């Protein structure tokens, strides 16, 4: 088992990574202070893993809320169902919420925990690859608004993150590819050696070979933990974790939440960031091609939707959270393994990218 720590002074917390951890009450119990627990999950994950978790939590008063599955339900109405259940079952301020599911469940449970009675504890048990390498770590919680992705939310850190790699065994291939998008992101923004490793290991990762997948999760979480420890509330550095996301969030909102998976939109968005960095002369043609090839090798889209115009992108990107004083800032690459958050780009480079003038 790997154990990492997100270093945030008195709010520091562990990330446990290994096979079969869902059955390890010894890893969970130290992070549950009261006797009440409410597991929040969705109607896809519940039949697979809820009973196993309930068994692990033997001795606690365990309630659960099963939400409808999918990004389309990451909204106020679904969030309200969590509050309704907590109030109906008289959960007090000593309760602990446990998110059992993908990033949608993790983001909504964390936001519910931040708000319920002005803040209760929560634990992340991510069950998708994407949530294991990204969304369960770092404390970004929230819901979507029809006008923009993740527009309503809070920074609120979990007490612990428990990653059971066995849960990936039931995940569809398309969701594995979506998770690989965020893994590739870490190599592109910060770790060229990891990118080399990913190129070599992509077939093993897509086949969920245990050694390779555990290594990829651990290295991804280590990079995320390091960045979050430096800049928890995204005053600067943390924005690099959004490589491809400004374009990707626009794709998700344009297509209708859930049509393109978040990781798929990030895959196409990272290619747009690579292409734009090439247009600016920061990346060579061959480095840009190398980045595109690794996205493609993960089974991800490398082009935005054909029905999306440059005007659609401009309109949807205007509400991005990195916009400051009306000025769009983007995460681009100075070179492979080095990202920058910048408004210092030419209109021509952005225009060429949005018009899909790729090499």
Residue 238 touches which of ligand GLY, ligand NAD, none (Cβ within 5-8 Å per kind): ligand GLY
Q: Are 38 and 93 spatial neighbours (Cβ–Cβ below 8 Å)?
A: no
Q: Is 42 in the site for ligand NAD (CB under 6 A)?
A: yes
Q: Is 242 in the site for ligand GLY (CB under 6 A)?
A: yes
The verdict on whether 150 is a catalytic residue reads no
Per CB under 6 A, the list member of 40, 241, 308, 331 interacting with ligand GLY is: 241
Query: DSSP letters along 212-270, please?
Result: HHHHHHHHHHHHHHHHHHH-TT-SSGGGGGGTTHHHHHHHHHHH-TTSS-HHHHHHHHH
Per CB under 6 A, the list member of 159, 238, 254, 329 interacting with ligand GLY is: 238
Q: Is 189 in the site for ligand GLY (CB under 6 A)?
A: no
Per CB under 6 A, the list member of 178, 213, 272, 333 interacting with ligand NAD is: 178
Among the listed ranges 89-97, 128-136, 228-236, 282-290, the one in contact with ligand NAD (CB under 6 A) is: 128-136
Among the listed ranges 2-10, 106-114, 237-245, 297-305, the one in contact with ligand GLY (CB under 6 A) is: 237-245
Q: Is 134 in the site for ligand NAD (CB under 6 A)?
A: yes
What is the spatial distance between Cα 1 and Cα 223, in angstroms, rounded to a whole number? 18
Per CB under 6 A, the list member of 36, 56, 157, 167 interacting with ligand NAD is: 167
Residue window 129-148: x/- pattern of binding to ligand GLY, with contact defined by CB under 6 A? -----x---x-x--------
| CA count, 13 A, side-chain hemisphere, 278 | 21
Q: Is 62 in the site for ligand NAD (CB under 6 A)?
A: no
Q: Contacts with ligand GLY in 96-135 (CB under 6 A)?
A: 134
Q: Are 240 and 332 spatial neighbours (Cβ–Cβ below 8 Å)?
A: no
CA distances, 75 to each of 52, 66, 106, 139, 336 (Å): 28, 15, 13, 18, 36
Q: Is 130 in the site for ligand NAD (CB under 6 A)?
A: yes
**Measured in whole angstroms, how far is the alpha carbon of residue 111 from the centre of its chain?**
14
Residue 127 labelled as part of a binding site: yes
Backbone φ, ψ for residue 337 (5° rounding)? 90, 0
Q: Is 322 in the site for ligand GLY (CB under 6 A)?
A: no
Residue 128 labelled as part of a binding site: yes
The verdict on whether 11 is a catalytic residue reads no
Q: Are 268 and 243 spatial neighbours (Cβ–Cβ below 8 Å)?
A: no
Q: What is the strand order of the sheet 36-42 is part of?
A: 2-6, 13-18, 160-164, 121-126, 96-101, 36-42, 61-67
Name the residue nearer to ligand NAD (CB basis): 167 or 246: 167
Residue 178 touches which of ligand NAD, ligand GLY, none (Cβ within 5-8 Å per kind): ligand NAD
Name the residue nearer to ligand NAD (CB basis): 148 or 263: 263
H-type helices in the chain, by residue range?
25-28, 51-56, 76-88, 103-115, 129-130, 173-190, 192-206, 210-230, 245-255, 262-279, 285-297, 310-317, 347-354
Structure tokens at 37: 């627990």
Residue 56 touches which of ligand NAD, ligand GLY, none (Cβ within 5-8 Å per kind): none
Structure tokens at 48: 């697979």
H-type helices in 259-327, by residue range?
262-279, 285-297, 310-317
Catalytic sites, residue numbers: 118, 140, 182, 224, 234, 238, 242, 245, 249, 262
Q: Which residues are annotated as a binding site for Zn(2+)?
A: 182, 245, 262
- The footprint of ligand NAD (CB under 6 A) covers 42, 44-45, 48, 69-71, 74, 101-105, 107, 127-128, 130-131, 134-135, 138, 140, 150, 167, 170-171, 175, 178, 262-263
- The footprint of ligand GLY (CB under 6 A) covers 134, 138, 140, 238, 241-242
């Amino acid at each position: 088992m790997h154990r990492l720590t997100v270093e945030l002074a008195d709010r520091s917390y562990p990330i446990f990574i290994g096979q079969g951890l869902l059955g390890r009450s010894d890893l969970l119990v130290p992070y549950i202070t009261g006797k009440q627990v409410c597991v929040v999950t969705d109607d896809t994950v519940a039949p697979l893993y809820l009973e196993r978790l309930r068994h692990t939590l033997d001795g606690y008063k365990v309630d659960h809320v099963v939400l409808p599955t999918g990004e389309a339900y990451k909204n106020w109405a679904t969030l309200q169902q969590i509050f309704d259940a907590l109030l109906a079952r008289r959960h007090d301020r000593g309760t602990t919420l446990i998110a059992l599911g993908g990033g949608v469940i993790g983001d909504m449970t964390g936001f519910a925990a931040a708000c319920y009675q002005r803040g209760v504890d929560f634990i992340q048990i991510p069950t998708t690859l994407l949530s294991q390498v990204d969304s369960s770590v770092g404390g970004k919680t929230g819901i979507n608004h029809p006008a923009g992705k993740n527009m309503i939310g809070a920074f609120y850190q979990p007490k612990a993150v428990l990653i059971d790699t066995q849960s990936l065994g039931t995940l569809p291939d398309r969701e594995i590819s979506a998770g690989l998008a965020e893994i590739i992101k870490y190599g592109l923004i910060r770790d060229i050696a990891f990118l080399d490793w990913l190129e070599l290991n992509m077939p093993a990762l897509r086949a969920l070979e245990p050694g390779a997948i555990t290594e990829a999760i651990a290295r991804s979480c280590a990079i995320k933990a390091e960045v979050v420890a430096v800049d928890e509330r995204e005053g600067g550095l943390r924005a690099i974790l959004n490589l491809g996301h400004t374009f990707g969030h626009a794709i998700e909102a344009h297509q209708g939440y859930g049509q393109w998976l978040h990781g798929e939109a990030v895959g196409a968005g990272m290619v747009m960031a690579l292409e734009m960095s090439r247009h600016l002369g920061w990346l060579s043609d061959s480095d840009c091609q190398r980045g595109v090839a690794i996205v493609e090798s993960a089974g991800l889209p490398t082009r935005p939707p054909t029905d999306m115009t440059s005007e659609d992108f401009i309109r949807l990107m205007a509400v991005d959270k990195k916009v400051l004083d009306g000025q769009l800032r983007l995460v681009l690459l100075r070179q492979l393994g080095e990202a920058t958050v910048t408004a210092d780009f030419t209109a021509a480079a952005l225009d060429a990218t949005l018009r899909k003038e790729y090499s």
